[in-house]
Amino acid sequence: MQIIISNSSKEPIYEQITSQIKKQILTGDLQEGQALPSMRQLAKDLQISVITTKRAYEELEKNGFIYSIVGKGSFVSEQNTEMIKERKMKVIEEKLVEAIENSKDMGIGLAELKEMLTLLYSEEE
Partner 1 sequence: MENVIELQNVTKSFKGFQVKDLSIAVKKGFVTGFIGGNGAGKSTTIKLIMNLLKQDSGSISVFGLTHETNERAIKERIGFVYDENIFYENLTLKDMKKIIRPAYQQWDDAIFQKYINQFELPLNKKIKTFSKGMKMKASLAIALSHQAELIIMDEPTSGLDPVFRRELLNILHELMQDGDKTIFFSTHITTDLDRIADYIIFLNDGEHVFTKEFYKIQEDYAIVKGPLDLLDADTEQEFVAVQKSNIGFEGLTGNKERIESLFGESVVLEKPTLEDIMYYTKKGGRLNG
- Chain residues in the site for partner 1 (CB under 8 A): 7, 10, 12-14, 38, 40-41, 43-44, 47-52, 55
Q: Distance between CA atoms of 87 and 98, rounded to whole angstroms?
A: 17
Query: For residues 52 and 14, is the Cβ–Cβ distance under 8 A?
Result: yes
* Closest CB 75 distance from partner 1, rounded Å: 18
Nearer to partner 1, 4 or 120 (CB): 4
Query: In the bound complex, what is the minimum distance in angstroms from residue 20's beta carbon to partner 1?
Result: 17
How many C-beta neighbours within 10 Å does residue 89 have?
Answer: 10
Closer CB to partner 1, 9 or 102, in the complex: 9
Give me the sign of the Cα torsion angle 81, 86, 87, 91: positive
The minimum distance between CB 50 and partner 1, in angstroms, equals 6
